[in-house]
Amino acid sequence: MKSWAQVYVPPIDSRFNFPALSVKNSSTQELLQLPIKDIYRMYVCGITPYDATHLGHAATYITFDLINRYLLAMGKKVLFVENVTDVDDPLLERAIRDGVDWRDLAISQIELFRSDMTNLHVIPPVDFIGAVESIPLVIDCVEDLMTKNAVYDVEGDLYFSVRRDPEFGSRSKLPTTVMMEISAQRGGDPKRVGKRDPLDPLLWMKERSGDPSWPGSLGSGRPGWHIECCAIALKYLHCDRAEEFLIDIQGGGSDLIFPHHEMGASQARILSGKPYARAYVHAGMIGLDGEKMSKSLGNLVFLSKLIESGADPMAVRIALMSRNYGDDDMWHESRLDTATQLLNRLQSLLGRSDVAPTDSVISQIIVSLSENLDTPKVIDLLNQWCTSTETGLRGGNAGELARAIDTLLGIAI
Ligand code: ZN
CATH topology classification for 22-287: Rossmann fold (3.40.50)
Q: How far apart are CA 261 and CA 275, in angstroms?
A: 13
Q: Quick: pLDDT tens for 343-370.
A: 999 999 999 999 999 999 999 999 999 9
Distance 260 CA to ligand 1 centre (A): 6
* Beta partners for residue 279, in sequence order: 249
CA 290 to ligand 1 center in whole angstroms: 28
Could you tell me where the DSSP H helices lie in 120-224?
135-147, 176-185
CB neighbours of 392 closer than 8 A, spacing ≥ 6? none
CA of 118 to the centre of ligand 1 (A): 21
User: Ligand 1 center to residue 406 CA distance, Å?
Assistant: 28
pLDDT band at 321 (very low <50, low <70, confident <90, very high): very high
Between CA 45 and CA 261 the distance in angstroms is 9
Is 295's pLDDT higher than 90? Answer: no
Question: Contact 116/241 with Cβ under 8 angstroms?
Answer: no
In the reported structure, the alpha carbon of residue 347 is separated from the centroid of ligand 1 by a whole-number distance in angstroms of 37
Which among 134, 103, 157 is positioned nearest to 1, based on CA atoms?
A: 134
Q: Are 59 and 339 in contact (CB under 8 A)?
A: no
d(CA 2, CA 298): 30
Task: Starting at the earlier edge strand, list the strands of the sheet with 277-283.
Answer: 127-130, 77-84, 39-44, 247-253, 277-283
* Residues within 5 A (CB) of ion ligand 1: 45, 229
Task: Give how far Cα 411 sits from Cα of 107, 143, 316, 320, 343, Å.
Answer: 28, 45, 10, 12, 9
Query: pLDDT tens-digit profile of 173-198?
Result: 999 999 999 999 998 999 999 999 99
For residue 200, report the distance from its CA to the centre of ligand 1, in Å.
Answer: 17
Residue boundaries of the structural domains of the chain:
22-287
pLDDT value for 198: 97
Provide the pLDDT for residue 346: 98
Distance of CA 358 from the midpoint of ligand 1 (Å): 40
Residue 297 pLDDT: 78
In contact, 396 and 409? CB cutoff 8 Å: no
Dump pLDDT digits (tens) for 48-84: 999 889 999 999 999 999 999 999 999 999 999 999 9
